[in-house]
Amino acid sequence: MESSFLILTLAGLITGVSKFSVGGMGMLVLPILMIAFPGPEVLGVLIPLYLCNDLAVMLFYRRRIQWRVIVSMLPLLLLLLLLGMALGSWWLQGLD
């Protein structure tokens, strides 16, 4: 087996355990992934890992989710998302 696959599997296991029980273990994921992948590529690996983990948690706790609270946060979330995209676009234009 390739070592990067083993490291990615270990990072996935640590992420899952940190979501369900031990919260501080999440800090170990980034250094472990940096062993196998270069710096910028770690974000490309880490973000889908967190998204998949969050979806799994939502499926596990789907009966306990308070949708009213989530829906009430959506307008502010979308506003801040658009603001972040605009600021990021403006900042990246300045780098050229």
Residue 52 and residue 27 in contact, taking contact as beta carbons nearer than 8 Å: no
Over residues 65-94, the pLDDT tens digits come to 888 998 999 999 999 999 999 998 888 887
Tell me how far apart the alpha carbons of residues 70 and 67 are, in angstroms, rounded to a whole number. Answer: 5
Tell me the C-alpha distance between 26 and 19, whole Å: 8
pLDDT for 91 equals 86
Checking if the pLDDT of 19 tops 70, the result is yes
**Residue 4 pLDDT:** 82
Rounded distance between C-alpha atoms, residue 50 and residue 90, angstroms: 27
For 43-54, what is each residue's pLDDT tens digit?
888 888 888 888
